[in-house]
Amino acid sequence: MRTKLVRIAARIDKPRAFNTFVSTPIWAVACSPRSAMRKTLLNVLAVGALACVPAFSHHSFAAEYDATKPVTLSGTVTKIEWMNPHARFYVDVKDDKGVVANWEFELGSPNGLMREGWTRSSLKPGDVVTVTGSLAKDGTRLANARKVTLADGTQVMGASSQGNGAK
């Protein structure tokens, strides 16, 4: 038993490893090649993970809408969804035969709409509106709203992702 204690004490008495670490400047430890490589790897993984998240959750205007297919529709607002990344509203529109179809209109982000003068109470279910925008490429009753004209003649821009160059 006494021999074991002497050996353990002998290991503790060897100050070589401890003194090497203590005498090494802090910048040398923090910038060692191994820790630099570890930090680089973690940064690459973090950036890669963050880059993947928005890639599938958002779209460009050209991916979903056709700027060469403008549309102007009038009807009664049935529902408003004021949320990110795009606010949306739905309008019952009568066609030439009197058949009512519910259209979905995508607006810009709520923040972009507020910069254009919108508030949460700008559009309410029951309001009669005329909407100018671009049809969806897939042929559904979906359009990107560029301009919304209220019943009193007030025009509000839709903060469309189509950009300012659109006519």
Residue range 93-150, pLDDT digits in tens: 998 899 999 999 998 888 888 888 888 888 899 999 999 999 999 889 999 999 999 9
- Compute how many other C-beta atoms are within 10 angstroms of the C-beta atom of residue 73: 20
pTM for the predicted model, two decimal places: 0.61
Return the closest-CA partner of residue 103 out of 124, 58, 134.
134
Has domain 61-157 been given CATH number 2.40.50.140? Answer: yes
> What secondary structure letter does DSSP report for 73?
E
Indicate where the chain has its CATH 2.40.50.140 domain(s): 61-157
pLDDT tops 90 at residue 72? yes
Alpha-carbon gap, residue 70 to 74, rounded angstroms: 14
